[in-house]
Amino acid sequence: MTPPDISLIVNTFEKPRHLALVLGSIALQTGVDGRFEVVVADDGSDVDTQTIVAEFARRVPFPVAFTTEPHDGFRLARVRNRGAALAGGDTLLFLDGDSVLPPDHVATHLAARRPGWARIGDVVRLPESVSRDLTPSGLASVDLRRLAPREELQRLSHRHRKSAFQNLLRHPSKPRLAGGNFAVWRHDYLRVNGSDERFRGWGQEDDDLGLRLRGAGIRLASILDRTFTFHVWHPSDPSATPRWRDGVNISYFLRRGRLTRCRRGLESRGPTAIRWGLPSDGAIGLSALLAASLADAPRAGIDEPCEIDVVVWPGRGRFHRRAECRFLLVEAGASERCPARLRHQADQIETLAADDEIGLVALLEEVG
């Protein structure tokens, strides 16, 4: 069977009415017959989401798949990765299970595809009064754009213009990726190892993915002048915070030394999957323990780039390789003598006893 051009990955958690609306809007897509599939990725709902999806699959002419895992808190990054793992399309269109699509949404994303670019969108927030009257069977006769608050349409228009200006300036971190409506080439998503599953709880997994895509050379462009989705009102997630800087993931997100290919994504990247830069003075102490622990891992030459460059103190090493993460490993009891220059250059710093092999193995699993 010919693979689809685009896979729609819909994440959901315990919102059966919202999911039914989203699936209903997908069934109304025009101009894309035979070109797409749907993957519903569930975060372990107690409600029988699988039955809703199975009944939908029996009614539509395109492929529909379903994946779920036991609920373990808000795990959006994991849910998206499970959906992506099932998807077969050249392009992955990630959608939230509470946001309805206009009829030309998928066709518009397909027409906007360009090598080396991801397309980012946003949602119009429908008021509760409009949201409660929506039904899957009534979507075909509803013009959601006419029901959308004017200020919401103005907000998206402003965001699109701002995004275009940020791209013109080659801004290093903007426009930001909004995960509920964005399309990325499958091979680009694989290139960064998908979404980082270390993000647990609400917030920042989208921003992180956007930064790592940029790190891989992928540019992000707004599609808001052509299409957007319509968010169906519901109470806020209890783990959401009014300010993004108050979120549970903020310290992890703001860390230095972010790897383009995250450690815990579509694949779990252990130490042997990382290209390391190791100190040359590896005969004693922590340096010797480090060399033994990474005996089977890829190593960069003295002037070759790597993912993680390691300097051990005390030692004669210095940070000189081009690396995404500079890791300073300080022997316990020697912290006060560690040069300020090394500390300033390091992205991540850990202190460890010279003979703590178990502790070192744990650190090598997590750094980056």
**Domain boundaries in the chain?**
6-253, 271-366
For the chain, report the end-to-end CA distance as a whole number of angstroms.
40
Per-residue pLDDT of the chain (368 residues; tens, 9 = 90+): 789 999 999 999 999 999 999 999 999 999 999 999 999 999 999 888 999 999 999 999 999 999 999 988 889 999 999 999 999 999 999 999 999 999 999 999 999 999 999 999 999 999 999 999 999 999 999 999 999 999 999 999 999 999 999 999 999 999 999 888 999 999 999 999 999 999 998 889 999 999 999 999 999 999 999 999 999 999 877 667 777 677 789 999 999 999 999 999 999 999 999 999 998 876 568 888 999 999 999 999 988 999 999 999 998 878 989 999 999 999 999 998 999 999 999 999 999 998 999 999 999 999 99
| Residue 329 φ then ψ, to 5° | -110, 115
Residue 173 to residue 210: CA distance in whole angstroms = 8
Question: 64 near 37, Cβ under 8 Å?
Answer: yes
- Number of other CB atoms surrounding residue 237 within 10 Å: 13
DSSP H or E segment with residue 205: helix 205-215
- Number of other CB atoms surrounding residue 248 within 10 Å: 16
Q: What DSSP state is assigned to residue 4?
A: P
188-205 exposure pattern, b = at least 16 Cβ within 10 A, e = fewer? bbbbbbbbbbbbbbbbbb
Q: What is the pTM of this model?
A: 0.94
Distances (CA, A) of 227 to 80, 96, 189: 22, 15, 22
The CATH code of domain 6-253 reads 3.90.550.10
What is the signed CA dihedral for 67, 73, 74, 79, rounded to 10 degrees?
-20
